[in-house]
Amino acid sequence: MPVIHILPADIRCDISEGTNLMEALRSAGILLDAPCGGNGRCGKCTVNADGADVLACQTTVEHDMQVLIPEEKDLHVMHSGIVTETRMDPLYPGPLLAIDIGTTSVVCFLLDGSTGKELASASTLNPQTAFGADVISRIREALSGKLEVERDIIREELTKLILKACADAQVDPSDIGVVSVVGNPAMQQLFLGISPENLAGVPFEPVLTEMKVVPCRDILPVCDNASLLIVPDIAGYIGADTLGCVLSTKLYEADELTLMVDIGTNGEMVLGNKDRMIACSTAAGPALEGANILFGMRGTDGAIDHVRSSDGSFICTVIGGGKAEGICGSGLIDAVAVSLEAGLLNKRGRISTTEEIDGQRFIPLRDGIYLTQEDIRQVQMAKGAICAGVQLMAQQLGKQVKDIRRVLLAGAFGSFMDPASACRIGLLPEELNDRITAVGNAAGSGARLMACDRAQIELAQKLKDRIEFLELASLKEFSVTFAKCMNFREKESNT
């Protein structure tokens, strides 16, 4: 039986001959990033095996092997969100926990049970990224027999975050009274160990439709005396995280027509006001978080996060300074916007430069990082889906896009993205450029509100029942609208 020696952790494991190296590393507790779900396309699971760089997902263990794992980089996670005053009336006494399980990152807030003040917070990359960057990949893996594995690794990671936050604030986890958790439907069901089979086919009905309070000890034993608040989902692909955004932004009280957009591996949106709200989810894909992009990466040190033009040259800023290693979502949006202004892309997204690599045109950025034609295509598909969703929601409400008075961008991507660039490429309609406000981790803020005040829990259930769900794919005009929204507006002529 072959032995793999894993460095720098200095772990030795006996592995059955013929085992996939990715699976072998998982069994040793090493979860490699695999945005493509282990299909050999993204190249993110590269390790050094016996002196050669290989893709772990495409390598079979046939003999003793020494494997060097690349150094992990810290993910820049958005903690702060919209500040909403609330009364303090939690379900149970004691310190409180609010948790936002995102597809990419996980954030845990520890709150004072008497004042709601934040005592500590902790965050990390969602370890389920080892099964794919998007929810579809993780659903597929869960249905193939890995549900318990995905469940256990997210619970273990949450336990680490809770212990860290409690240690920082000198709080005993056993004293915690309420744990409030939000996430999209797939993340919630995987966390709870509920098969996501309902999300794998029509009609994509949600399983979690009612607010529930259950003992936390059966799911997160570290909080053995707490009660776990399970927040309902709005629809099959619009979850408790979106409900948390609506709650914290008070969109439900707005007089003017307001659009809330949470752009991540999916794009969840709610449009409306105090009279009516409608929600949809768009298959934006993970491109805007760095997946499916040749040099794409998350918002960590080494990522190009912003791009500007000066005298015909691209000026790129890099997180942490130093040499660029790739480009994250905010930098990608900027780069496409600047390329459009420079006339390097036509309205169909075709690169017009004459420079080629491997017979393909490309747009150079910095330090050997560049955009390919396929990268542009991925951006077009993501922005086309989101922009089409905005237009069709407005249409369903009998409104036009110009009638939208406020746009609230939730989540880390929305906070770091330049609204002008987003509008320039058509991710959001251009007429909304001066109406955009970033609201940070609004989903986490909603989880905090529900942890602090039982009235917010009741309100969340009422809002869930009020929000109408729009299935975009069922609209006959969706395909045409989507196709039109994929196009860019070319640079205006000076003549």
State the pLDDT at residue 2: 86
Task: Check which CATH number belongs to the domain holding 9 and give it.
Answer: 3.10.20.30
356, part of any domain? no
In the prediction, which pLDDT does 80 show? 54
Domain ranges, residue 168: 96-241
Could you give the CA distance from residue 286 to residue 72 in angstroms, rounded to a whole number? 20
- Give per-residue pLDDT as tens, 151-181: 999 999 999 999 999 999 999 999 999 999 9
110 with 230, same domain: the answer is yes
Give the pLDDT score at 305: 93
What is the torsional sign of CA 316, 320, 322, 328? Answer: negative
pLDDT given at position 261: 95
Residues 13 and 146 in one domain: no
Take residue 188 and report the two structure tokens written for it: 């919630």
Task: List own/partner pairs for 273-277 with CB under 8 A and 24 or more apart.
Answer: 276/397, 276/468, 277/246, 277/251, 277/252, 277/463, 277/466, 277/467, 277/468
> Residue 354 has what pLDDT?
82
d(CA 467, CA 245): 13
Extract the residue ranges of the chain whose pLDDT is less than 70: 35-37, 72-85, 284-286, 492-495
Query: Total domain count for the chain?
Result: 2
32 and 159 in a common domain: no
- 104 and 214 in a common domain: yes
Q: Which residues of 7-39 are buried (b: 16+ CB within 10 A; e: fewer)?
A: eeeeeebebeeebbbbbbbbebebbbbbbbbbe
Measured over all CA atoms, what is the biggest interatomic distance in the chain, rounded to whole angstroms? Answer: 73
Do 55 and 113 share a domain, yes or no? no
The reply to whether 52 falls in a domain is yes
Q: Are 131 and 225 in a shared domain? A: yes
Judgement on whether residues 185 and 127 belong to the same structural domain of the protein? yes
Instruction: Flag whether 283 is in a domain.
Output: no
Residue 347 is assigned to a structural domain of this protein: no
pLDDT of the residue at 78? 45
Phi/psi of residue 155, nearest 5 degrees: -65, -40
Residue 387 lies in a domain: no
What does pTM read for this prediction? 0.86
CA atoms of 266 and 286, how far apart (whole Å): 7
Picking from 30, 49, 68, the residue at the C-terminal end of a domain is 68
Q: What is the CATH number of the domain that holds 188?
A: 3.30.420.480
Q: Would residue 467 count as lying in a domain?
A: no
pLDDT at 76: 46
What is the dihedral sign for C-alpha 312, 317, 321, 324?
A: negative
The answer as to whether 439 is a domain residue is no
User: How far is 243 from 395, CA to CA, in rounded Å?
Assistant: 22
In a domain, 300, yes or no: no
From 221, 241, 261, the end of a domain falls on: 241
